Amino acid sequence: MAAGILCSTMRYGADHKKETHHKIVRDASRRVRAKGISGAAVAAVMQDAGLTHGGFYKHFASKDELLTEAVGEAFREMGDRLVLAAEQAPPSTAWKVIVTTYLDAEHSDHAETGCPLTSLAPEIARADERMKTSMLGELMKYRNRMLPFMPGRRKSDRERAFILIFSTMIGTIEIARMLPEPSMRRKVLADARDFLLQSF
Amino acid sequence: MAAGILCSTMRYGADHKKETHHKIVRDASRRVRAKGISGAAVAAVMQDAGLTHGGFYKHFASKDELLTEAVGEAFREMGDRLVLAAEQAPPSTAWKVIVTTYLDAEHSDHAETGCPLTSLAPEIARADERMKTSMLGELMKYRNRMLPFMPGRRKSDRERAFILIFSTMIGTIEIARMLPEPSMRRKVLADARDFLLQSF
DNA sequence: TGTACATCAGTGAACGCGCGTTCACTGATGTAC
DNA sequence: TGTACATCAGTGAACGCGCGTTCACTGATGTAC
């Protein structure tokens, strides 16, 4: 546990608290995407992490602080997934891999590990100024990671492509998630995929 | 007040309760679109309607009943607005009028009177089975009202166009509503408008 | 190496508050005669 | 027309519950000597 690097005032393993903190954030990130911002109660998140609610304020100043970290984590996780997929493809078709990865039944069926925009966009838009600012920062980081893979020669073209492609994908996943029949969901996803792949 | 048609057991004006009921639903519909499903508390909605919370259960069996009626009302209002706009245009360009009406700064700035999909889609997807079924019914009515105006000769083409156009528009409005700068919002809306108008 | 002490992540009871729901009551409206 | 009665939309206090937050306490870990 890298004991030699321990700060002299540390009593517990140096990483122990950090790891617990991160586990809480990761579990909250899942819960927030699955049940919405108002669906992630402090006690429930702590139970997910194998803890009791009392210890929460040893890790976070408030529930809002957890929520902003959880949304940040969600953007990071989804960003990692899309970057990983995009990097496997030749640069010219990377954006197509992002589209097929995003508009996938797996993504549509598992909001809890998916893009936070598809499960939280309207709630983020309604959040108070502080939270909105912080979440917008995370959204911008997410966008900046996607930009290199977007189609277009000039930066402004790629920025425009990001908005158009992600707008369409977000709306498509949201509609798909409302539909009861798996076959309807798959058709919606496939139609949007074909539409986008032919549009740039 | 059409007193002659009064049912013999009616003591109050025949329409009085219906009108109050509808006013509550309309106010709830605004509140639900502005603040989300969990942001529309019974007491707040009743206060909007100039009443106190105690009388609520003279009009609705439960809060869920109000919510389903409110979402239905929202789809109806937005449907009316789009149909009205579309009917003013020649049939071949009606869908373009729907796109420009939907992707408008006024719609982006006023969630409370806008399309419920842009403010509630993820919450609807997470709702319990009963509510989801009812809301899906309203969504299908909404879709059926839009279908005649969608581009495409065959019905299946128009259904596909509806999904693609509305997915893109929903995602666009949601992203626009997250952005702090009015100029950024306007650019996003304009880009999506141009994109859609050139795509069919 | 062994023992006394300090730290602090985690526990669980308790708090105040907002919310959905219930209920005894009110008072305006319309009916019966 | 006037008076006694019935109805029922609306009132406001009260309820139980879940939630965010606080706090005195615990006990495992690491330090000092």
What integer pLDDT is reported at residue B6 of this predicted model? 34
Using CB atoms, pick whichever of B122, B169, B192 lies closest to residue A122.
Answer: B122
Q: What is the per-residue pLDDT across B124-174, written as a single tens digit (0 to 9) for each?
A: 999 999 999 999 999 999 999 999 999 999 999 999 999 999 999 999 999
- Does residue B113 lie within 7 Å of nucleic acid chain D, judged by its CB? no
Verify whether the Cβ–Cβ distance B132 to A191 is below 8 Å.
no
Round to a whole number and report the distance in Å from the CA of B111 to the C1' of D10: 31
Q: Which pLDDT band holds residue A12 (cuts at 50, 70, 90)?
A: low
What integer pLDDT is reported at residue A105 of this predicted model? 98
Residues 92-151 of A with CB under 7 A from strand D: none
Long-range contacts of A181-189 (CB under 8 A, 24+ apart): A182/A105, A185/A105, A185/A108, A186/A105, A188/B163, A188/B167, A189/A103, A189/A104, A189/A105, A189/A108
Nearest nt to the CA of A19 via C1' is C9
Q: What is the per-residue pLDDT across B94-112, written as a single tens digit (0 to 9) for each?
A: 999 999 999 999 999 999 9
When pLDDT is averaged across residues A68-93 and rounded to a whole number, the result is: 98
Q: What is the per-residue pLDDT across B36-76, written as a single tens digit (0 to 9) for each?
A: 999 999 999 999 999 999 999 999 999 999 999 999 999 99
Q: What is the per-residue pLDDT across B77-97, written as a single tens digit (0 to 9) for each?
A: 999 999 999 999 999 999 999
What integer pLDDT is reported at residue A13 of this predicted model? 58
Q: Which pLDDT band holds residue A130 (cuts at 50, 70, 90)?
A: very high
Question: How far is the C-alpha of A45 from the C-alpha of A23, rounded, in Å?
Answer: 10
Verify whether the Cβ–Cβ distance B133 to A166 is below 8 Å.
no
Nearest protein residue to nucleotide C8 (CA to C1' distance) is A11
- Given a contact cutoff of 8 angstroms between Cβ atoms, the answer to whether B107 and B173 are in contact is yes
Using CB atoms, pick whichever of A122, A136, A167 lies closest to residue B172.
Answer: A167
Q: Which two tokens stand for residue A181?
A: 């029949």
Query: Which chain D positions come under 7 Å from a protein C-beta?
Result: 6-14, 18-24, 28-31
Question: How far is the C-alpha of A158 from the C-alpha of B93, rounded, in Å?
Answer: 29
Amino acid at B163: I
Q: Which pLDDT band holds residue A8 (cuts at 50, 70, 90)?
A: very low
- Does residue B195 lie within 7 Å of nucleic acid chain C, judged by its CB? no
Q: For chain B, how many residues are written?
A: 200
What integer pLDDT is reported at residue A177 of this predicted model? 98
What integer pLDDT is reported at residue B14 of this predicted model? 58
When pLDDT is averaged across residues B21-47 and rounded to a whole number, the result is: 97
Tell me the H-state helices in chain A. Answer: 16-35, 42-48, 63-87, 94-102, 105-109, 116-126, 129-146, 155-178, 182-197
Verify whether the Cβ–Cβ distance B171 to A166 is below 8 Å.
yes
Round to a whole number and report the distance in Å from the CA of A18 to the C1' of C12: 23
- pLDDT tops 50 at residue B10: no
Least confident window among A30-44, A142-156, B13-27? B13-27
